[in-house]
Amino acid sequence: MVRCCTGPGQCAVAALWACTGVAVYIQGSSCSASNDSICAQVGACCTGLSCATAFTSGCDAAAGGVFTPNVACTGGGGGTQSMTCCTADFDRNGVVAVADLFAFLSAWLSGSAGTDYDHDGVLGVGDVLAFVGVWTAGC
CA 98, CA 112: separation in Å to the nearest integer?
Answer: 19
pLDDT tens digits, residue range 4-46? 776 666 777 888 777 765 556 667 777 777 666 777 777 778 7
Whole-structure pTM value: 0.51
Comparing CA positions, the residue from 96, 98, 100 lying closest to residue 84 is 96
What is d(CA 69, CA 54) in angstroms, rounded to the nearest whole number?
9
Burial 55-76 (b: 16+ CB within 10 A, else e): beeebeeeebbbbbeebbbeeb
Most trustworthy range by pLDDT among 52-61, 69-78, 99-108: 99-108
Q: Give the span between the Cα atoms of 12 and 78, in whole angstroms.
A: 10
> How is the chain split into domains, by residue range?
86-139
